[in-house]
Amino acid sequence: MSVRSLRLERWSGQLLSAPRTRTRSRAPCCLRQGQQCLSGSNTRSFSASAVSRNPRIEKEFVDEDGDGIGLFEAPTHPVQQEYPSPSPRAALRSSKLAALHARLGLPQKLPLQTVARTLVDPSADSNVDFNNASLAQLGGSIMSYHVSEWLLVTYPRLPMSVLFAAAYAYNGPKTLQLVAKEWGVDTAAAPGREVDPGYLQFEKLAPGTDYAAIKAAGGSSRPDKFNFFRRGMSSRVVYDDEFGDTIPKKNESALPIPTESAYAGFVKALIGSIHLHAGREAAKVFVKEHILSRQLAIDTLFQFKEPIRELSRLCAREGFEHPMARILSETGRLSRHPVFNVGIFSGKDKLGEGSGASLQEARTRAAVMSLKSWYLYSPGKNERVPSDMEAPGEKAAWEPVHIDIGEVIH
């Protein structure tokens, strides 16, 4: 009788291997948890108490003893969810973001991760820790403050309607869109975690959508919103925003927005991030170089309904002599194309002059020029503003600026 050789390695494998009928081919819990942490570079963790419990997780652990199958509740772990916007780590690998940082000459204290956050609109990512909502709120207030103080010091006699229009021309959404495009900022086709952090990400408004009607449907924060006839210039100063426009009562950040609003939010957020990382003076210099350095023809913002009457009331308020219109020169009175040059005088002082095809037209234009010469008075564009006193090392005493009595009310 021959003795067959026994392969002990088969016995050891059978004894050491777990029964296939009672187990699942899954890694242990500790290994699975580590794998989830390693693969979580593009995921966000949320508490398991905020989601419904999965019954499959509770039954995936099986007692492997031969006596019986015992089920017990498995520990719950945070549920993983993908980013709706790029990961902050991706900002360090973005060439577009680094080029934007260098092109604008941003401070070295401002990290690329924060610059990437300024490019994420709340409509793309509703998480306030990853979008630019808070930075835009801060930067918008800083920019409006510097623009307003510069306008009030440089042109102290501007009417409120012209002041609102000038502020909108300097830091309104349309202007900020042009500024951001000049910086080389492009928009992404759609927001997502796979998008390059150097693109502006927001939920785009569908073509043909009436965004003004959507904002009006949300209501206003004004207490007299149902009495539209009471919305005068004084109430616009008290209740409305820096441009004299109504403030929406409901702000749904997840709704699609126009392109100009997304660009404006980015510029405001960038100014806010500079203020937080580099200080107040750096943010002021940035606003002065990129916003206030733009040329604006403020004389084109005026619109007078009754310039002759308004000029007469202005002279009476300031104690000047009654304005008189005089013909300075004329040509072709009896021709088809006459030209009259009329001047407005208050005593011996000439307030303004204008020309036209008729005496009435020339007189009206002369009155308009006289009013513009009064309202556009400026002590100089290099006058000190109140924020200059907050600069470090400033020792010069503050010289009060000119404060005008206000526009003519007739």
pLDDT band at 403 (very low <50, low <70, confident <90, very high): confident
Position 220 confidence tier, pLDDT thresholds 50, 70, 90: low
Architecture of the domain made up of 88-300 = Orthogonal Bundle (1.10)
Please report which confidence band the pLDDT of residue 283 belongs to, taking 50, 70 and 90 as the band edges. very high
Render pLDDT for 105-120 as a digit per residue (tens, 0 to 9).
999 999 999 999 999 9
Beta bridge partners of 341: 329, 355
What token pair was written down for 328? 């300075």
> CATH for 304-377?
3.30.160.20
What Rg do the C-alpha atoms of the chain give, in angstroms? 35
301 with 166: CB under 8 angstroms? yes
CA atoms within a 13 Å half-sphere pointing along the CA-CB vector of 355: 9
d(C-alpha 198, C-alpha 192), whole Å: 13
pLDDT, tens digit, for every residue of 297-325? 999 999 999 999 999 999 999 999 999 99
Please compute the mean of the pLDDT values over residues 68-73 and round it to a whole number: 50
Closest CA to 197 of 82, 110, 100, 91: 91
Tokens of 89: 């780590």
Range(s) within the chain of domains with CATH label 3.30.160.20: 304-377
The CA angle 207-211-212, to the nearest 5 degrees, is 145
Give the pLDDT score at 219.
61
Q: Please give the pLDDT value at position 96.
A: 94
In the structure, what pLDDT confidence band is assigned to residue 246 with cuts at 50, 70 and 90?
confident
Host H or E run for residue 79: strand 79-82
List, for residues 127-161, the tens digit of each pLDDT value: 888 999 999 999 999 999 999 999 999 999 999 99
- DSSP code of residue 376: T
pTM: 0.74
CB count in 10 Å sphere of residue 40? 12
Which residue intervals of 172-279 are DSSP H helices?
173-182, 211-217, 233-239, 259-278
Strand segments, DSSP code E, in 258-356 are 324-331, 339-346, 349-356
Round to whole Å and give the CA distance between 344 and 319: 16
Question: Which of 178-182, 231-235, 272-276, 322-326 shows the lowest mean pLDDT across its residues?
Answer: 231-235
Residue 58 and residue 73 in contact, taking contact as beta carbons nearer than 8 Å? yes
Q: Boundaries of CATH 1.10.1520.10 in the chain?
A: 88-300
Q: Which residue has the higher pLDDT, 225 or 124?
A: 124
